[in-house]
């Protein structure tokens, strides 16, 4: 399985020279199985960059097929949806798979994102390709093409995020972003279970330790929470993810150096760029 | 008076090496008078950096005025990240067209509900006030005399002419041109035939815009598309620099600022656009400036540039 980070930034798409190396686009991750089948996680602004690549191939001809896992509906995870050009080509088969936000339906939430006040698209029904929205119950396990997906609900400030364990080609990627545990060093059992022996763990590491003291309760983790999960779940590699919009490339470098000094787990900071072999 | 561009991009923010010079953040400008009066126009992602700067200026509590052209995401997405909103005692007045059945506070409140953003509007420490604007009905806001202007955009949008310090600046975004599509309150998947009433409405809107821009010093205009792009997407609600030049020439404007750049336009492409339209403008006696994130322009002929 290959993986490409199209967006690694948290909360807010950040532009400028200070963030060029890690990248400023918000969450979007592409997984590609050995056979070439794809799976996308989240529709942040990074998805608009992937869209350009997809449109050069079968999606430009209306023959593309793509399942998209949605961790939750905070804006930085869906803001690329109205600009994901494969939606505009009839024939493409695109499924959005995610949980209902608390007290709401996923369908209604995405419909509201495209409400006429907010978007000239004026509703999901005007996406030429159409979109099927499949609501899942977190905790369930299902298959999307060649990808086996195990899910769990994890706390994210005043709402919840769905975390994913994706298996393909005998390799495992676990996505645990937009999560804050009651104590950073005491990750919840469901998170550890999802990350068990993963080949790659992608974990929320939005805050530096100092910053975290000011941001407790906002739903994000410091790097030490990511390390704690990685160690306890004995993962092979850890990608620090969902970088703060205020974190420059130099600051992220420093976070990585500090984190490496704290653990024996192989780790790096997720960066927009080329395909990685899992 | 001076105007600073905090976000010049249309549709959605585009980080990356290809946009690092012109900037990737979406619509937001700051207009200041010589005495320090401050008006914010549009609350796209550029608003985040402006908010950080305004916080550093201090002076709590403060009153802020945010004029919205309309409430498409790229013009309001910065609001939840506006630092002064998290300082108790600050007051933030938001001005916008009442575009649809919902009340304005519900529209703005809607983007801060839990499914979209962690803190709901009613829990934000600053006090928000929502004020409806009506095209042609002028408002006096602090030192500024503000005239809202009806524009041609899906679900409606307004531009603003702002007079202060004996000079004037106008913000004309987002708008389609006025000859082949009339935006109403429904989805367009292409051009629709225009009735006589539609044509009359377009002519009236165009005349209203030209009249409002008459003699304005500096006009910031939605020039999202290049002519060849416009031909493919005439129903998207945006204009070209040529269409902006036509309106500005008719209104006797001194400086036209190209604004709301398409997300696909790279810096190199924007350099070409800037040079081409600088020349075209010069031939018509109009100075054409292409906006870049972080740029400040002095407004008024007496000011050195």
3 state SS of B34:
coil
- Beta-carbon separation of A20 and B13 below 8 A: no
Question: Is residue B303 over pLDDT 50?
Answer: no
- Chain A residues touching B188 at Cβ < 8 A: 120
Give the mean model confidence (pLDDT) for residues B247-258. Answer: 98
Mean pLDDT of B34-41: 96
B171-198 pLDDT per residue, tens: 999 999 999 999 988 888 899 999 999 9
> Above 80 in pLDDT, residue B91?
yes
- From the CA of A14, how many Å to the nearest CA of chain B? 6
Residue of B nearest to A77 (CA): B116
Neighbours of B56 (CB within 10 A): 8
pLDDT of residue B102: 55
CA distance B46 to chain A (A): 10
Q: Express each pLDDT in A146-190 by its tens digit.
A: 999 999 999 999 889 999 999 999 999 999 999 999 999 999 999
pLDDT at B104: 64
Regions of chain A with pLDDT less than 50: none
- Identify the pLDDT of residue B58: 85
Please name which of A243, A240, A223, A237 lies closest in space to residue A277, comparing C-alpha atoms: A237
Please report the ipTM that was assigned to this predicted complex. 0.94
- Reading the block at residue B67, the tokens are 């004029």
Tokens coding B72: 């498409």
Chain A residue at shortest CA distance from B20: A16
Closest by Cβ to A13, choosing from B11, B13, B71: B13
Answer yes or no: do B115 and A80 touch at CB < 8 A. no
Question: pLDDT at position B101, please?
Answer: 44
**Residue B72 contacts residue B100 (beta carbons within 8 Å):** no
CA closest to B102 among chain A residues? A117
Contact B118 A112 (CB under 8 A): no
Write out the two tokens for B181: 């599509």
Return the residue matching tokens 């249309």.
Answer: B10
**Burial of A246 (C-beta count, 10 Å sphere; 0-12/13-18/19+):** middle
| CB of B26 less than 8 A from some CB of A | no
CA distance A119 to chain B (A): 5
Q: Is the pLDDT reported for residue B68 higher than 70?
A: yes
Which residues does chain A have within 8 Å of residue B293's beta carbon, measured at their own beta carbons? 15
Tell me whether residues B72 and A116 touch, CB distance under 8 A.
no
Which residue(s) pair with B296 in the sheet? Answer: B4
Structure-block tokens of residue A73: 């509906």
Handedness of CA A77, A78, A84, A90 (dihedral sign): positive
Chain B residues close to A101, C-beta within 8 Å: 114-115
User: What domains sit in chain B, N to C, each tagged with a CATH number?
Assistant: 2-298 (3.60.15.10)
Residues of B in contact with A113 (CB under 8 A): 116
**How far away is chain B from the Cα of A16, in angstroms, using its nearest Cα?**
5
Of A274 and B138, more confident: B138
- Closest residue of chain B to A106, computed from CA coordinates: B115
Give residue-wise pLDDT tens across range B92-137.
Answer: 999 998 865 456 667 667 777 776 777 788 888 999 998 999 999 9
Q: What is the pLDDT of residue A208?
A: 86
CB-based contact (8 Å) between B234 and chain A? no
CA-CA distance, A177 to A173, in Å (whole number)? 12
* Residue B245: partners with Cβ closer than 8 Å, 6 or more residues away: B256, B277, B280, B281, B284, B286, B288
- How many residues does the structure list for chain B? 305
Token digits for B187? 């989805």
Residue in chain B lying closest to A7 (CA): B15
pLDDT given for residue B301 in this prediction: 63
CB pair distance less than 8 Å for A25 and B186: no
Q: Domains (ranges, CATH) in chain A?
A: 2-277 (3.60.15.10)
Contact A83 B99 (CB under 8 A): no
CB B156 within 8 A of CB B70: yes
Inter-residue contact B32 to B45 (CB < 8 Å): no
Which chain B residue has the Cα nearest residue A72? B115
Q: Please, which residues have CB within 8 angstroms of residue B304's CB and are 6 or more apart in sequence?
A: B298
Q: Name the strand (E) or helix (H) holding B278.
A: helix B267-283
State whether B16 and A121 contact (CB < 8 Å): no
User: CA-CA distance, A260 to A224, in Å (whole number)?
Assistant: 11
Distances (CA, A) of A38 to A35, A65, A92, B240: 9, 8, 13, 37
* Confidence (pLDDT) at B302: 54
Considering only CB atoms, B15 lies closest to which of A11, A19, A157, namely: A19
**Residues in chain B within 8 Å Cβ distance of A80:** 12
CA separation for the pair B173, A170 (Å, rounded): 52
Among the partner-chain residues B12, B17, B111, the one whose CB lies closest to the CB of A83 is: B12
């Amino acid at each position: 399985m290959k993986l490409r980070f199209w967006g690694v930034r948290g909360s807010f798409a950040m532009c400028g020279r200070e963030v060029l190396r890690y990248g400023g686009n918000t969450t979007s991750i592409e997984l590609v199985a050995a056979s070439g089948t794809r799976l996308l996680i989240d529709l942040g602004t990074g998805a608009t960059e992937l869209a350009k690549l997809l449109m050069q191939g079968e999606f430009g001809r209306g023959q593309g097929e793509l399942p998209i896992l949605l961790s939750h509906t905070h804006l930085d995870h869906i803001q690329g949806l109205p600009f994901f050009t494969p939606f505009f080509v009839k024939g493409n088969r695109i499924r959005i798979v995610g949980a209902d936000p608390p007290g709401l339906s996923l369908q209604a939430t995405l419909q509201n994102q495209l409400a006429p006040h907010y978007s000239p698209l004026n509703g999901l029904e005007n996406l030429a390709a159409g979109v099927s929205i499949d609501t899942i119950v977190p905790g369930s396990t299902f298959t999307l093409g060649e990808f086996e997906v195990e899910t769990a609900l994890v706390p994210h400030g005043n709402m919840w995020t769905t975390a994913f364990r994706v298996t393909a080609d005998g390799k495992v990627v676990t996505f645990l972003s937009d999560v804050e545990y009651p104590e950073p060093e005491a990750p919840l059992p469901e998170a550890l279970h999802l990350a068990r022996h993963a080949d790659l763990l992608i974990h929320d590491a939005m805050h530096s330790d100092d910053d975290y003291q000011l941001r407790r309760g906002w739903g994000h983790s410091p790097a030490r929470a990511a390390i704690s999960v990685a160690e306890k779940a004995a993962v092979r590699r850890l990608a620090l993810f969902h970088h703060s919009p205020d974190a420059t490339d130099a600051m992220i470098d420093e976070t990585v150096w500090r984190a490496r000094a704290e653990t024996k787990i192989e780790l790096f900071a997720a960066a927009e760029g080329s395909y990685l072999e899992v | 008076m001076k105007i600073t561009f905090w976000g010049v991009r249309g549709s959605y923010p585009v980080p990356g090496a290809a946009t690092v010079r012109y900037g990737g953040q979406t619509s937001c400008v700051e207009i200041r008078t010589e005495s320090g009066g401050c008006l914010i126009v549009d609350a796209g992602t550029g608003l985040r950096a402006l908010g950080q700067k305004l916080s550093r200026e201090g002076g709590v509590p403060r009153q802020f005025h945010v004029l919205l052209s309309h409430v498409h995401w790229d013009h309001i997405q910065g609001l939840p990240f506006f630092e002064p909103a998290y300082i108790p005692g600050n007051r933030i007045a938001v001005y916008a067209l009442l575009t649809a059945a919902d009340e304005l506070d519900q529209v703005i409140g809607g983007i801060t509900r839990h499914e979209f953003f962690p803190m709901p509007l009613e829990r934000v420490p600053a006090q928000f006030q929502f004020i409806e604007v009506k095209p042609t009905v002028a408002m006096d806001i602090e030192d500024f005399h503000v005239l809202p202007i009806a524009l041609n955009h899906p679900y409606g949008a307004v531009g603003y002419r702002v007079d202060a310090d004996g000079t004037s600046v106008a913000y004309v975004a987002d708008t389609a041109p006025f000859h082949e599509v009339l935006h109403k309150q429904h989805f367009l998947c292409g051009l629709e035939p225009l009735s006589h009433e539609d044509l009359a409405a377009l002519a009236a809107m165009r005349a209203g815009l030209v009249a409002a821009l008459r003699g304005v010093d500096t006009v910031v205009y939605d020039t999202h598309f290049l002519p060849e792009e416009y031909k493919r997407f005439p129903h998207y609600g945006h204009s070209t620099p040529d269409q902006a030049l036509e309106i500005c020439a008719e209104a006797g404007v001194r400086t036209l600022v190209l604004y709301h750049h398409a997300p696909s336009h790279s810096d190199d492409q924007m350099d070409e656009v800037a040079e081409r339209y600088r020349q075209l403008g010069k031939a018509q006696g109009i100075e054409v400036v292409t906006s870049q994130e972080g740029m400040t322009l002095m407004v008024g002929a007496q000011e050195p540039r």
